[in-house]
Homo-oligomer: A and B are copies of this chain.
């Protein structure tokens, strides 16, 4: 049986999310301090509360939640999310999905034919980049500045490409993965204006937006489009409970024009029918009980000192020719080394010195790699590990 000759070309050439492999590689090194993972801290998981809620939901409405449900999510779950986020949308403008990745997947299946174009921040979240490439999109990178995507460059790449083929501008405006950078209010508005003018949908990937532990927050790109530009279809926003309750629950949601959501639901019907109905109803119960505000507060209080510790250690140990932007939330900080340096090579030396990070090259579309960045995660290690790990890293540098 030669099954391999029957695989599609895209299957055979598909890139995996190398980060997983790198993280696994470093997990077995004794005494290593790892800034490589992208994991929320398990100390923030509200295990006891969730244990009670799972039990309660099953006992109170097991007949319902164990049965098949609506593809785009249960109506009461959607209503709880809409209320929590104070959204002025109807339930049919929302899809409950199996993690943010699943929402993004349903969106790209709705719009992307092989050869279509997606404009993305570079660096950006690898999980999305590999999904874009897997469905045949070509990614056009736009570089990052200290206050978000380079908007002049965005204008330029739009002018340089066939508009019919440019389907999305992909952005993570708050505490971006991997850079930790937040897009300024002014840039958000320019982004929306440019997208509307060119008839291009913005995917606002927003997994960390609620985890701002310092500075003042900006309106989401979704809010700007809807409130300032009175436009319901230019932004497709994806949010998740992964960094708030736990990624294992695989509960996230996409907000978009209701016509787009209908097509995304039609894809979801083929892809997984629904996400887990017990978990989505537990999320709803959690929100209905008013527990989320306290939970988010606790996470911020957990991550802020870790971030502060990392910032302090960087100031203390890391050479001044290495550039970085202090994050105001989220889980990541990015170091930009001098251009001639290569963090793929540094990675091996760092692991020998028992400290790990993700080399920056992993966060670029195929063929557009840059090698002088590195992503550091501060949500998973302890404060003591952060201090010691940054010191080790400085020695490697």
Q: Which residues of A pack against B, CB within 8 Å?
A: 1-9, 11, 14, 16-17, 20, 39-40, 42, 45, 47-48, 50-52, 54-56, 58-59, 62-69, 71, 97-99, 101-102, 105, 109-113, 127, 130-131, 134-135, 164, 167, 196, 199, 201, 231, 233-234, 245-250, 257, 259-260, 263, 266-267, 269-279
Q: Is the CB of B233 within 8 A of A1?
A: yes
Q: Which residues of B contact A67 (CB under 8 A)?
A: 39-40, 42, 45, 246-248
28 pairs of residues in contact across A and B, judged by CB atoms under 8 Å:
A1-B257, A3-B233, A3-B259, A6-B164, A8-B109, A8-B110, A11-B109, A11-B111, A40-B67, A42-B63, A45-B62, A47-B62, A48-B59, A50-B58, A51-B58, A51-B62, A66-B247, A66-B249, A67-B248, A68-B247, A69-B248, A101-B270, A127-B270, A135-B270, A248-B276, A248-B278, A250-B273, A272-B272
Given A1-B234, A16-B269, A250-B274, 18 additional A-B pairs, CB 8 A:
A6-B167, A8-B110, A9-B113, A11-B110, A20-B269, A45-B62, A45-B66, A51-B58, A66-B249, A67-B246, A98-B276, A99-B273, A127-B273, A248-B274, A250-B275, A271-B271, A272-B272, A275-B276
A7-B111 in contact given A50-B66, A271-B105 (Cβ < 8 Å): yes
A66-B245 in contact given A54-B51, A134-B270 (Cβ < 8 Å): yes
Q: Is the CB of A249 within 8 A of B266?
A: no
Contact of A199 among B6, B59, B245 (CB under 8 A): B6
A3-B250 in contact given A67-B39, A98-B98, A272-B105 (Cβ < 8 Å): no
Contact of A98 among B9, B47, B275 (CB under 8 A): B275
If over half of A's interface residues share one DSSP class (helix, strand or loop), that class is named, otherwise mixed; here it is: helix
Q: How far is the CA of A151 from the CA of B277 in the complex (A)?
A: 40
A270-B58 in contact given A109-B11, A111-B6 (Cβ < 8 Å): no
Q: How far is the CA of A278 from the CA of B259 in the complex (A)?
A: 32
Of all chain B residues, the one with the shortest Cβ separation from A257 is B3
A51-B47 in contact given A7-B263, A231-B1 (Cβ < 8 Å): no
Q: How far is the CA of A196 from the CA of B234 in the complex (A)?
A: 50
Q: Is the CB of A272 within 8 A of B102?
A: yes
Contact of A7 among B40, B58, B110 (CB under 8 A): B110
Q: Is the CB of A270 within 8 A of B63?
A: no
Q: Which residues of B contact A274 (CB under 8 A)?
A: 99, 248, 250
Q: Is the CB of A201 within 8 A of B54?
A: no
Q: How far is the CA of A253 from the CA of B71 in the complex (A)?
A: 20
Q: How far is the CA of A167 from the CA of B6 in the complex (A)?
A: 7
Q: Which residues of B contact A11 (CB under 8 A)?
A: 109-111, 263, 266-267
Of all chain B residues, the one with the shortest Cβ separation from A103 is B272
Q: How far is the CA of A2 from the CA of B197 in the complex (A)?
A: 11
Q: Is the CB of A17 within 8 A of B111?
A: no
Q: Which of A3, A20, A97 has the most CB of B within 10 A?
A: A3
Q: How far is the CA of A135 from the CA of B111 in the complex (A)?
A: 13
Contact of A63 among B45, B56, B98, B113 (CB under 8 A): B45
A276-B250 in contact given A51-B59, A109-B11, A266-B16 (Cβ < 8 Å): yes
Q: Which residues of B contact A277 (CB under 8 A)?
A: 248-250
Q: Is the CB of A63 within 8 A of B39?
A: no
Q: Which residues of B contact A58 (CB under 8 A)?
A: 47, 50-51, 54
Q: Is the CB of A259 within 8 A of B4?
A: yes
A36 to nearest B CB, angstroms?
Answer: 13
Q: Which residues of B contact A8 (CB under 8 A)?
A: 109-113
Q: Which of A55, A234, A270 has the most CB of B within 10 A?
A: A270
Q: Which of A16, A42, A273 has the most CB of B within 10 A?
A: A273
